[in-house]
């Protein structure tokens, strides 16, 4: 079977495909072109890795704890709502 | 876990309400702040949402997760309370990476730095999280809302679309711009060290 070598894309185009690539929404053709570019590029794999690390670190953002005052206010509201 | 609390809430169990509040209140505030421009309006929208939950808990059918249901109510309340002006919308660049980073052939002009060489990714993630927490505030509101739901709260793309009432394509564009911008901010912060 003849396998055509995909036409390479520039790094500037590749960075625009990263999210669709990670979301699995690229067409088969674009995915092949993107992966072909990654294999030959010294920088875009690093870029993709940086995006992955960014996503991971965003997922590690902690949510503040509820302050005792806010909690007390909400309990008071709850009691009022229940009695209305 | 939520389902048990919800059935207790239906029976008027105050402690179940307190536990739900402890679990979701701060996440809801963060989400509301990305939609409205004042802290007071954000707090009111969240409070309104809790009232809606207490009064309307019978309407939760369990077809979506409780979190998705809760966030959808909140987004609707916050939007009707007054959405932020979308001042950034028209000037947003079409490029997610500064064009000057590329040469005339569209190749990276300078090599990119490895961020986490042979170290523990999870450890780095915990160290960088505070940088990203403040970086979130620099995102245009709609991007921030999507990043909060998707990457901070961990909703799926379908859930984000359901909460915000936007298409998958629209969600991906906002996600793409938001994540790219966060990477850029993190990169410039790491270079300062």
Residues B139 and B175 in one domain: yes
Q: What angle do CA B128, B134, B139 make, to 5 degrees?
A: 110
Residues B68 and B126 in one domain: no
Residues B115 and B33 in one domain: no
DSSP H helices, chain B, are 2-10, 14-35, 39-56, 66-82, 121-136, 141-147, 157-164, 168-192
**Given B50, B55, B179, which is nearest A51 (Cβ)?**
B179
For residues A74-81, average pLDDT: 93
Spatial distance between the Cα atoms of B132 and A60, rounded to a whole number of angstroms = 9
Three-state secondary-structure class, residue B102: strand
Crossing angle (nearest 10°) for helices B168-192 and B121-136: 110
Contact B12 A82 (CB under 8 A): yes
Residue B94 within a domain: no
Interface predicted TM-score of the whole assembly (ipTM), two decimals: 0.89
A64: pLDDT confidence band, cut at 50, 70 and 90? confident
For residues A46-64, average pLDDT: 94
Domain boundary assignment for chain A: 1-62
Residue B112 in contact with partner chain A when CB distance is under 8 A = yes
Residues B35 and B76 in one domain: yes
Residues 29-58 of A with CB under 8 A from B: 42-44, 46-47, 49-51, 53-58
Residues B111 and B76 in one domain: no
What's residue B90's pLDDT? Answer: 47
Neighbouring CB atoms inside 10 A of B127's CB total 11
Q: Which of B28, B51, B82 delimits the end of a domain?
A: B82
DSSP B105-143: TSSBSSPPPPSSTTS-HHHHHHHHHHHHHHHHTTS-HHH
Domain count, chain B: 2
Residue B188 within a domain: yes
What is the residue range of B120's domain?
99-192
Interface test with B, best of A63, A69, A82 (most B CBs within 10 A): A63
Measured in whole angstroms, the distance separating CA B29 from the mean position of its chain's CA atoms is 11
Contact B126 A60 (CB under 8 A): yes
Residue A25 in contact with partner chain B when CB distance is under 8 A = yes
Residues 38-97 of B with CB under 8 A from A: 47, 50-51, 54-55, 95-97
What does each of the 193 residues of chain B score in pLDDT, given as a tens digit?
788 899 999 899 999 999 999 999 999 999 999 999 889 999 999 999 999 999 888 888 888 899 999 999 999 999 998 766 554 554 456 789 999 999 999 999 999 998 875 566 667 778 899 999 999 999 999 999 999 999 999 999 999 999 999 999 999 999 999 999 999 999 999 888 6
CATH at residue B49 = 1.10.1740.10
Residue B87 within a domain: no
What's residue B30's pLDDT? Answer: 95
């Amino acid at each position: 079977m003849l396998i055509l070598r995909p036409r390479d894309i520039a790094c500037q185009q590749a960075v625009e495909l990263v999210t669709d690539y990670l979301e699995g929404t690229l067409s088969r053709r674009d995915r092949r072109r993107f992966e072909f570019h990654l294999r030959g590029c010294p920088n875009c794999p690093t870029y993709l890795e940086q995006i992955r690390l960014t996503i991971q670190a965003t997922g590690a953002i902690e949510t503040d704890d509820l302050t005792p005052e806010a909690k007390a206010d909400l309990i008071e509201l709850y009691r009022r709502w229940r009695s209305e | 876990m939520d389902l048990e609390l919800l059935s207790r809430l239906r029976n008027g169990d105050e402690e179940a309400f307190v536990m739900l509040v402890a679990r979701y209140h701060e996440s809801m505030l963060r989400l509301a702040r990305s939609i409205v421009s004042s802290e007071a309006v954000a707090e009111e929208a969240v409070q309104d949402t809790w009232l809606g939950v207490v009064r309307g808990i019978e309407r939760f059918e369990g077809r979506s997760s409780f979190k998705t249901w809760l966030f959808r109510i909140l987004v609707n309340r916050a939007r009707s309370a007054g959405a932020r002006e979308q001042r950034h919308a028209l000037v947003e660049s079409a490029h997610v990476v500064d064009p000057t980073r590329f040469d005339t052939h569209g190749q990276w002009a300078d090599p990119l730095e490895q961020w986490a060489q042979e170290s523990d990714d999870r450890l780095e993630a915990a160290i960088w999280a505070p940088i990203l927490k403040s970086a979130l505030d620099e995102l245009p509101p709609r991007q921030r809302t999507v990043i909060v739901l998707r990457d901070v709260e961990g909703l799926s793309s379908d859930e984000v679309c359901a909460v915000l009432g936007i298409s998958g394509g629209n969600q991906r564009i906002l996600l793409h711009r938001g994540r790219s911008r966060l990477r850029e901010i993190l990169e410039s912060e790491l270079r300062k060290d």
